[in-house]
A and B are shown apart, each in its own frame.
Chain A
Amino acid sequence: MALSFSIKRGVQLASGALLALASCQAGPPPPRAITIQQTWELQVGNQVGDYRISSGLGDITLELGGHPVRMPFDGRVQSMDEHCIALTSPEVPAYLFRLCGISRPKLGQQLQGHTVGRAQQLVFATFRKEPDGTWTLIEPATDLIAQFLTE
C-alpha cells in the first residue's frame, strides 16, 4: 500500500513538473485568426509576386512618423497576421481593430491610455462581428481613429 501510494505520488509530482515545464515553454500566445466576410484576393498578408501586401480595400493608412499608438479603452492586444495586432475590448463589444505597422507592440491586457507601440505608417482596419461568427470590414468613425492617436 505504502509503495503504491509513493509511486502514485511520484507520478503525480512528475506529471505536475512536466506540466509546469510545458507551460514555461509554451512561448507567446497564438495569433488571433478571424474569418473576414469580404473575400478579396488583394488583402493584408497576401502576396503579389515576392512582395507582401501591407494594406488593402478598407484599410486606412496614417503617416505617424514614429508617433505612439495608444489604447482608447481598456482591452486586449493580440498578434494577428504578420506585422499586425488585433485590439478588442469588452467595452466595445462585437468590434475588432486591426493595426498594422507597429514596431514591437505590447501584447496582452492593456489599460486605457497606455502606449501599444510606435509606427511610421499605421494601417488601420475595423471589423464588426456577424451573427455567424465571421467579421465584416467596416468604415470606422474619424473620432474613433483619433482616440488611438491622442493621449
Chain B
Amino acid sequence: MKQRPKRRPRRQQRHRLISSATLVLLGFGLGLGLRFQAKAASASQDLCQTIVSSQAVLSRQQLTQLLTVPERENRQAIEAIAQEPYCTLAAIEVRAGVKAERTAYPLAFDPNTWLVVLYEAEEYVGYGFKLQH
C-alpha cells in the first residue's frame, strides 16, 4: 500500500520527461528548418537589388545570339538582343576606380539558371551563369 503512491509520480515524471524532451527536439528541429528557409530566401534575394522588368526572361534564341557578342563590345550590342533585364545587382567595384554594373536574366527554358551580365561604363565585360536554388 505504501509503494503505490510512490510509483505513480515516477511514471508521471518519466512521461513528463519524455514529452518535454520530444517538445524540445521538435522545437529545435522547427527552429533549424526555419533558419535554413530564411537562409535560402535571403540567398535568392541577395542576387537582385532592383527589379527592372518582372516578366523578363531570355529565350534560347536570344541567349545564342548574346553569346556571340565578343567582350569589350558596346553594351548596346547586348541590350539590343536581351532587351530589359529582370533585375540589376548591387553595383560593385572590381577594378580600382571603375564602377561595374550587373544585370540578370532568368532563362525562359530553365528558370533556375540566370544569366548575369557585367558592364563597365559603356563596355560589355562578360557573362556568367548563376544557379538559383
Contact = CB atoms under 8 A, between A and B. Distances in A.
Interface of A: 74, 89-95, 111-112, 126, 128-131, 138-144
Which interface residue of A89, A90, A129, A142 has the most chain B CB atoms within 10 A?
A90
Contact of A131 (B47, B71, B95, B128): B71
B94 A144 contact: yes
B94 A126 contact: yes
A131 B68 CA distance: 11
Contacts of A90: 116, 128-131
A92 to B, nearest CB: 6
Given A130-B71, A131-B70, A93 B94 contact: no
Given A112-B46, A129-B71, A130-B71, A94 B125 contact: yes
Contacts, number: 70
Which interface residue of A92, A126, A140 has the most chain B CB atoms within 10 A?
A92
A91 B95 contact: no
Contacts of B16: none
28 contacts: A74-B130, A90-B130, A91-B47, A91-B89, A91-B130, A92-B100, A92-B118, A93-B102, A93-B116, A94-B71, A94-B125, A94-B126, A95-B126, A112-B46, A128-B95, A129-B71, A129-B126, A130-B72, A131-B71, A139-B95, A139-B96, A140-B94, A140-B95, A141-B94, A141-B96, A141-B97, A141-B98, A144-B92
B117 interface: yes
Contacts of A112: 43, 46
B83 to A, nearest CB: 19
Contacts of B46: 112
Contacts of B128: 89-94
A138 B95 contact: yes
A131 B72 contact: yes
Interface string B87-107: 001001111111010100000
B37 to A, nearest CB: 16
Contacts of A129: 71, 125-126
Which interface residue of B100, B117, B129 has the most chain A CB atoms within 10 A?
B100
Contacts of A89: 128
B125 A128 contact: yes
Which interface residue of A94, A111, A129, A144 has the most chain B CB atoms within 10 A?
A94
